[in-house]
Amino acid sequence: MLSSQLDTIAYQVQPGDNLTRIIHRYYGAISPQQRQSIIAQIQRDNTLVRNPATLYPINY
């Protein structure tokens, strides 16, 4: 998957989620380099995501 193929996905974080699991759910089995690229883009787009292993649901 090339970075140009990434679409915007709206996702509400659930307790216990982490970026690796979410990425696997949407993109399936991808290479570690592809996963890191997606994580980097998510972190650029969402400045509150500091640690991809630990996500916190936001209660509105």
Is the pLDDT confidence value at 26 over 80?
yes
Nearest to 51 by CA among 8, 9, 10, 17: 17
Task: Give the DSSP H/E element, type plus range, for residue 20.
Answer: helix 19-27
Whether 6 and 41 have beta carbons less than 8 Å apart is answered as yes
Predicted TM-score of the model (pTM) = 0.74
Interhelix angle 19-27/32-45, rounded to 10 degrees, is 110
As to burial, measured by CB atoms within 10 angstroms (0-12 exposed, 13-18 middle, 19+ buried), residue 19 is buried
Is the pLDDT confidence value at 31 over 90?
yes
d(CA 47, CA 50): 7
pLDDT in tens, 32-60: 999 999 999 989 988 888 898 998 887 75
